[in-house]
A and B are shown apart, each in its own frame.
Chain A
Amino acid sequence: MRWACLLLPHLAIDGVLRRHPSPDATLVLVTGPAHRRVLHALNDKARAAGLRAGMSLAAAQALTPHFACIEYDAEAVVRHRQLLASWAYRFSSQVSTDLSDAIGPDSIGPDAIVLEVGQSLNLFGPWPRFEARLREELTALGFRHRIVAAPNPQAARVLANAHDGLAVDDNRLDTALGNLPVECAGLDADIATALVRMGLRRLRQVFALPRETLTRRFPPTLLPHLDVLRGRQVQPLDTYRPPDKFDTRIEFDHEIESSTALLFPLRRLTADLAAFLAGRDGGVQRFVLRLEHESDACTEVPVGLLAPERAAAMLFELARGRLEQASIAAPVVGLRLVARELPSFVPVGRDLFDARPQQAVPWEQLRERLRARLGDDAATGLSLQADHRPERAWRNDAAPRKAATLAAGPRPGWLLQRPIPWRGSPPRILAGPERVETGWWDGGDVRRDYYVVESASGQRAWVYCACGEVGPYMLHGWFA
């Protein structure tokens, strides 16, 4: 009874429900390619409506049209598993999520966390109390669970398939395992099926067979697996390690009142961060500067980047830009840099014979500096959009992407945000009409004849009127 298994049969749906605005709705998680959508998980209400995991969405909709579909998010499941592992880590130094996929990676099998509890009993025990605490906290976190304790993690895991609240010690292990249905024993699905199809429904029957007859008939994984369950062999597990983060603090022996004086310590911290990032071969996309005051609450200065970076100079530049913008209410006694988002980083290839003049600022750096100085929204990208409607042919875009361009006629450099009626004397038509008649699909159907015209004062303008009509004109842009 040295290991406990926390089985999480509904991790995916519980993870969604704990933050869903109306957890009482009929909810399903859907996954799979467009032509074959299947239900991955569902809540109790959906199950009551006759829906089942693994059912195709079409079949489900044939049963009842009234349910909400949420895209299954495998990453969220990983996150939740990590969350629970780190939570369990508070109770034991040996925590593992290795046995989560004991049922197979593609199946809709339950998640599980195993932890060594024998050494923690002094702190949290005895076991019934320990178990109660685990249950209480899991429930508070919003995850349904089953808990079984056994002499080894694998046995705890398979017993949890059929039990909840069971705790077995060494001398009762064999009996408990023997009563276990073969399908629950964590065997490869085809081995389990083969055994059952020979009439061997419980592990007890399998234990009773001469070993050599099993060796002859089954893959070599079978006997070691049984031995591990029965504690005759030990199979080590990969244990959970808490994730890395960067968190360094510098305390000043005097109060600092100007941000310039903070630059030196800031340079150190950013250099440390850069070194740390280099050490783990990663980058940083967001970090926080925390300015500590004597009595007031800390001032937080978040620093965000468009892409992961790790060059010390650049990190410093950016942090400095943000720091100078920040309003600091009180003298600073300490500076702390916390970086949690540490994504992987692909460094820019540098040409050995880089011909750039020394003082030129690289484009990315200029962009970031502008953003830091003027605000995130002040600089935006511009991207083309393949749409015949001029007002939709380009748009502001934080992350511009390449799009197919249209072979269009002359377009003014300055397109008015909104067309306005043409005032003054009728213009002289230079070219046109160019007819634009499209956009019916989004309610923005336009039907216009565009003309390039010259105003009385000699300015070239872009105007339109309704298809086939002659005036009145609407001004839509100016040519340079």
Chain B
Amino acid sequence: MNAYAELHCLSAFSFQRGASSARELFARAKAMGYSALAITDECTLAGIVRAWEAARETGIALIVGSEVRLTDGLKLVLLVTNQDTYSALCHLITVARRAAPKGEYKLSREQLVDLPPGLLALWIPASTDAVADGQWLRSIFPDRCWLAIELHRGPDDAIRLRDLCRLAEHVGMPAVAAGDVHMHVRRRRALQDTLTAIRHHTTVAEAGAHLFANGERHLRTRAALSAIYPPELLAESIRIAQRCTFALESLRYTYPRELVPDDHTPTTWLRELAETGARWRWPDGVPERARALIEHELALIAELGYESYFLTVHDIVRFARSRGILCQGRGSAANSAVCFALGVTEIDPARMNMLFERFLSRERNEPPDIDIDFEHERREEVLQYVFDRYGRERAALTAVASCYRGRSAIRDVAKALGLPPDQVNALASTMDRWSADAPMPDYLRERGFDPDSAVMRRVVRLTNELIDFPRHLSQHPGGFVISEYPLHTLVPVENAAMADRTVIQWDKDDLDALGLLKVDCLALGMLTAIRKTLDTLRRSGRRDLSVATIPADDAATYEMIGRADTVGVFQIESRAQMAMLPRLKPRTFYDLVIEVAIVRPGPIQGDMVHPYLRRRKGLEPIDYPPDLKDVFERTLGVPLFQEQVMRIAMQAAGYSPGEADELRRSMAAWKRRGGLEPHRERLIDGMLARGYPQAFADKLFEQIKGFGSYGFPESHAASFALLTYASCWLKCHEPAAFACAVINSMPMGFYTPDQILQDARRHGIGVRPVDVRHSDWDCTLEFAHGDITTQPAIRLGLCLIKGFAHDVAQRIQTARDAQAFIDIADLCRRANIDRRHQDLLADADALKGLVGHRHRARWAIRGVEAQLPLFATAPSSIEPRVMLPAPSVGENLRADYALTGTTLGPHPLALLRGELTAQRCQSSAQLARVEPGRRVRMAGLVRLRQRPQTTSGVTFLTLEDEYGMVNVVIWRDLAQRQRRVLLESQLLVVDGSIEREDGVQHLIAKRLQNLSPLLRGLDSVSRDFR
């Protein structure tokens, strides 16, 4: 049989064209005995790193290339032979992509003229008599252009072969066989047709002209190829493949150099910065342990050559500091002594037993990964700084390959199969939005589809195939790549959807695989809230604190946390977290680190939570092999963190650090790709060989598997816990300032401003209404008689009025600062308020101080006439006084909720309490005194509905009444029986029984009843199934 190398093959990264992944293609190429496989996605290299990985796994040589179609229709495949031509291809793709809107490209003949001599071209002629095209190409690519003959069992392949060979001879270029491959095997043709229909926004039945007539565009057997191609055409493919020796791993990436002063090397400069930092961190002298750590780390960094990376991170953090933008680094490399000295993190590594090897590994030449969180409102400044500092040529955001998930896949498939829109929507609703699971027959039946019908079988099969296919490239929220040389020598760069952003074609896994520097600049709302709290406290003269100087180990703070009194704080405010807090009762910072990590799908699915709690309470012996003490001691013998798994692999099963990191990656991906089984054998054998009992080894492996992709790294948990502690301390000691800052930093966290305010009021903080005479845009603090020693009250800001514009609020502030408002005419004139905002102010009751109740305010504001400046001082015309009824409490309540989402009047349930009592409903305050197991009835506003994936169909509800919140547990069968009531109710009555353990109370529902009619019109907001 003839040897063959496929030189024209698309992967799934030719979006909606290629119907197989690189993995599948390479596996098939290997099975078919191909000598090499080119991946030539259309004007993109987005899939090339995955192809390279697949090539490494199979041992089939990868040829890097790209198919392009010029604006005049000329179609080529460009193939890379060496580093130079690779860069030239990146540059060409960059130019083509940047000249067109996102997702498209534009190439003309001129752009092909100056390509380096190593770049090979295959010409795919439009017709058998395109002589002029061929001659032009021959002149542009002398001696390196081939005519690709692609035969797919068309009407008359024999004639076509003859004509194309003649054409090649005529224009004087050699011919070669190629496959125009779109899929790895023939049976993908259904998916390929479907993708084609999706690409053309039509149905497969209508797409006729765009579909291929047959399934020949797959990696055919060499026997089949030998049957249709003369041997010399196949042999030519091997000759071309042999010229393409470029390997992706030979890419050389250079860190930016400008951060180092002329008289320094990166090594000496990093040392200098670290020393300066250490003196700033430890003014009384650097402790021995920290000194040793710094030396160790600097040596490792120098050995691996990562100085520039740390310098880059330091530079970004330094910039943020200089602008007063609060930030914090995350990741084990961030939680290092050097980073502590550089100010990247506030975690003193000497106090934490971190695993520095995780990201800095001697074995793998792979860069460390540091995520930096910034205040969410100001991260853009940081991004723009990076773009400015390094220039658009050298800095770009990383891409995210958006993949088909269950819902999007079934939607597109159903549309392509021509199902009507209503059915497409109904089908989509049978799928979990983000899950990658196949459609479930039961769910289909529930929606009235017959899963056994031919159409549904097609839908299910194709959806299954389509899930996880890349769909388009979008930008990563904050992952930067920075390079000394223009990025387009390394990777193509495209336009992002947002103006002024450029994005490389690779995602973070691609960068990891190739060892490129990446800094994640992420946005974090809590940093904004903390900075705002600290600012207000400083400005008011009440306290002068920074994150670093917030007193540590504060008993009152931990006591508050233990009560689950944590509405609004970072990370431990969710329903699930609040249910855990009274059981765990954190008392130290490390307890908080555990708390942050434990309420996550990983530990829950790995069944680690309960053993940990039992051991903590002394209900179960703490046992672990004594020589694993330093791994297990902190978590009582239960592995809770990724780092622990790696340590166990190293210490108990003899993994090297590099192998342990491999294990971490497999853990993250095993659900999708498998690949944990080889580790099973190694881990268990390794442990047995080192004398650990079989049972211990088995259990550990199961726990690791349960961890899956959700295992949380200790290094991240530690950084988060720091913010958790800071926010808790502020909530405990400065509740008014904290609540105020949280609201001013919205949207963030778990709760609405209303819930934050209700919580503040329950803690005795005064809350004052929106009032044009006092309110700024933001919520502000008002001290009683200027006394800064007592807790201030919160004055609601104009920002709470839905739809109010910032600049109008500013005009009001400015006009008011000049002179207090006399009446609303004065207000409207001096602050230049348009009709819409006038109405908003009246509706929000913000004019009460000037004209009285809402009805009066609306009447009055409507009477304000637009006045010409000439008459600015003339008094408003006198008109008869009219009598208007005052709004009722209920009306005010409704208006409050509709306009500002909160009310300072009575809680809605306080208004309904009489009626509820008549219906034998108890309040949450009464519930707290009921003995466990007793039947109760309780009514509340539904604030949250949640059905976590980890709880097998249990729905959690949070009900709120005037005294607080109650967690309700609804078992699956009740949820199904009373589905409508559950979904529709705003005001819900639950009959059930109380369960209480360790101070955690749940109401187990037995029956639900919808009382929403009582609330008619009330705009109470429930956040459903996030």
Contacts and interface: CB of A to CB of B under 8 A. Distances in A.
Interface of A: 30, 34-35, 37, 50, 57-58, 61-66, 69, 194, 197-200, 209-210, 212-213, 216-218, 385-388, 404-406, 408-410, 431-438, 440-443, 449, 452
B885 interface: yes
B190 A63 contact: no
Contacts of B214: 388, 435-438
Contacts of A433: 153
B501 interface: no
A408 B208 CA distance: 11
B454 A410 contact: no
Contacts of B204: 441
Give the most central of B422, B855, B983: most A CB within 10 Å: B422
B889 to A, nearest CB: 14
Contacts of A218: 862
Given A57-B422, A58-B429, A63 B984 contact: yes
Contacts of A58: 425, 429
Contact of B153 (A385, A435, A442, A443): A435
B884 A197 contact: no
B918 interface: no
Contacts of A438: 189, 193, 211-214
Contact of A217 (B206, B212, B859): B859
Contacts of B156: 409, 431-432, 434, 452
A409 B155 contact: yes
Interface residues on B, range: 35 or more
Contact of B980 (A63, A387, A388, A440): A63
B541 interface: no
12 contacts: A34-B421, A61-B426, A61-B429, A64-B980, A198-B859, A198-B862, A200-B884, A218-B862, A386-B207, A406-B213, A437-B186, A438-B212
A209 B75 CA distance: 78
B208 A199 contact: no
Give the most central of B152, B208, B215, B887: most A CB within 10 Å: B208
Interface of B: 152-156, 158-159, 186, 189-190, 193, 204-209, 211-216, 417-418, 421-422, 424-426, 429, 446-448, 454, 458, 843, 854-855, 858-859, 862-863, 865, 879-880, 882, 884-887, 980, 983-984
Contacts of A434: 153-156, 213
A61 B425 contact: yes
A404 B458 contact: no
A471 B358 CA distance: 64
A388 B447 contact: no
B880 A410 contact: no
B163 to A, nearest CB: 13
B205 A388 contact: no
Contact of A443 (B155, B159, B454): B454
A-B CB proximity, top 6 nearest: A409-B155, A386-B208, A435-B153, A34-B421, A437-B214, A199-B855
Contact of A65 (B208, B209, B418, B446): B446
Given A34-B421, A37-B421, A58-B429, A431 B211 contact: no
B448 A65 contact: yes
Contacts of B885: 199
A43 B687 CA distance: 69
Contacts of B859: 198, 217
Contacts, number: 132
Contact of A437 (B206, B208, B215): B215
Given A194-B862, A438-B214, A199 B886 contact: yes
Contacts of A449: 153
A386 B206 CA distance: 7
A63 B422 contact: no
B433 to A, nearest CB: 13
A198 B159 contact: no
Give the most central of B154, B158, B212: most A CB within 10 Å: B154
A37 B421 CA distance: 9
Nearest to B884: A199
B155 A410 contact: yes
A72 to B, nearest CB: 13
A207 B448 CA distance: 55
A385 B884 CA distance: 71
B879 A431 contact: no
Contacts of B454: 443
A330 B880 CA distance: 86
A441 B417 contact: yes
Contacts of A216: 862-863, 865, 879
A430 to B, nearest CB: 9
Contact of A405 (B209, B215, B858): B209
Contacts of A50: 980, 984
B217 to A, nearest CB: 11
B362 to A, nearest CB: 54
Contact of A388 (B158, B211, B425): B211
B258 to A, nearest CB: 49
B158 to A, nearest CB: 7
Contact of A441 (B186, B193, B425, B429): B193
A452 B421 CA distance: 43
A354 B855 CA distance: 76
B400 to A, nearest CB: 24
Contacts of A405: 209
Nearest to B447: A65
B425 A37 contact: yes
Contacts of B865: 216
A461 to B, nearest CB: 15
B228 to A, nearest CB: 10
Given A64-B980, A437-B216, 6 more contacts: A50-B980, A58-B429, A66-B448, A431-B156, A435-B152, A442-B205
Given A63-B984, A213-B882, A435-B216, A406 B209 contact: yes
A197 B855 contact: yes
Contacts of B983: 62-63
A82 to B, nearest CB: 29
A320 B375 CA distance: 85
Give the most central of A35, A197, A212, A387: most B CB within 10 Å: A197
Contacts of B886: 199
B208 A385 contact: yes
Contacts of A387: 205, 208
A338 to B, nearest CB: 39
Contacts of B422: 30, 37, 57, 69
Contacts of A443: 454
Nearest to B426: A61
A159 B696 CA distance: 82
B508 to A, nearest CB: 32
Contacts of B458: 440-441
A210 B882 contact: yes
A385 B153 CA distance: 22
Contact of B862 (A62, A217, A409, A432): A217
A199 B842 CA distance: 13
A386 to B, nearest CB: 3
Contacts of B213: 388, 406, 408, 434-438
Contacts of A442: 205
Contacts of A210: 879-880, 882
Contacts of A410: 155
A56 B984 CA distance: 14
A433 B158 CA distance: 9
Give the most central of B159, B190, B882, B885: most A CB within 10 Å: B882
B1006 to A, nearest CB: 22
Contacts of A66: 448
A378 B107 CA distance: 53
Contacts of A217: 859, 862-863
A444 to B, nearest CB: 10
Nearest to A213: B879
A57 B418 CA distance: 19
A37 B426 CA distance: 11
Give the most central of A58, A216, A218, A441: most B CB within 10 Å: A441
B447 A61 contact: yes
